[in-house]
Amino acid sequence: MKGFYSRKLHSLLGVIPLGFFILEHMLTNFSAVEGGAQGFKDSVAFLNGLPLVLILEIFGIFLPLLYHAVYGLYIAFQAKPNNGRFRNERNLRYLLQRVTGVIVLVFVIWHLYETRFQVAVGNVTHEQLGSVMHDIVLNPVFFILYVIGVLSASFHFANGLWSFLVSWGVTVGPRAQRVSSKICMGLFVIVSIMFVWSLFAFRNAEFQAGGEAMLQTLRTFIG
């Protein structure tokens, strides 16, 4: 495919559906803050109760994610950052967009393996996901890695939204780009806080798994 269209598709998929997905994920996680273990279980149950949920996952998440990741890596490795010579905020964000993109890709693969993949192969059920997360984030190293992962994802989303607005010709002049910059960086802060807050909520003892048998199952893949 010609560069123009593949780049435009990359930009579009980052916002629709992936941008919507990250906001949805943020809200679902936040139910762990708001409603505790039961609230999170209810949110997961609601999502999995959606009609055609597998189709939604494949066409709304997996395929767009795959394309965005592969083409994004291509973009990231084409860059020749010059932040030492040009120290300005936009240039820093240019670099961070590429760095966080690669971090998020690694993080998402790891996170998918621990959660969705384990559900798919039948090691855990949707109801147990809260306790899976509980066990992960209780490990201080994994907790820090998760914080880095969600901060990177939040930044990549918010800054990507800013450049989406430029690339599609919505924000044209410098004032418009400055204002959208502030809005998007505000969004970054809000999304980050909500994700990190949820991570702290998952550390709460109420997410602990029921029986010793299940912990045994979990240990096999958390390490």
Residue 89 Cβ vs another protein, minimum distance, rounded to whole Å: 9
Closer to another protein by CB, 58 or 170: give it. Answer: 170
Q: Which residues of 123-150 are buried (b: 16+ CB within 10 A; e: fewer)?
A: ebeeebbbbbbbbbbeeeebbebbbebb
Helix ranges restricted to H, the chain: 3-15, 18-48, 53-57, 63-78, 89-114, 116-120, 129-138, 140-167, 174-202, 212-222
Closer to another protein by CB, 29 or 180: give it. Answer: 180
Residue 84 Cβ vs another protein, minimum distance, rounded to whole Å: 8
Closer to another protein by CB, 144 or 170: give it. Answer: 170
Distance, in Å, from the CA atom of 73 to the CA atom of 139, rounded to the nearest integer, reads: 30
Closer to another protein by CB, 15 or 95: give it. Answer: 95
Closer to another protein by CB, 12 or 112: give it. Answer: 12
Residue 13 Cβ vs another protein, minimum distance, rounded to whole Å: 15
Q: Where on the chain is the footprint of another protein (CB under 8 A)?
A: 2-8, 75, 77-82, 85-86, 88, 90-91, 93-95, 97, 162-163, 166-174, 177
Residue 19 Cβ vs another protein, minimum distance, rounded to whole Å: 17
Contacts of 138 (CB under 8 A, 6+ apart): 203
Distance, in Å, from the CA atom of 135 to the CA atom of 16, rounded to the nearest integer, reads: 32
Residue 80 Cβ vs another protein, minimum distance, rounded to whole Å: 4
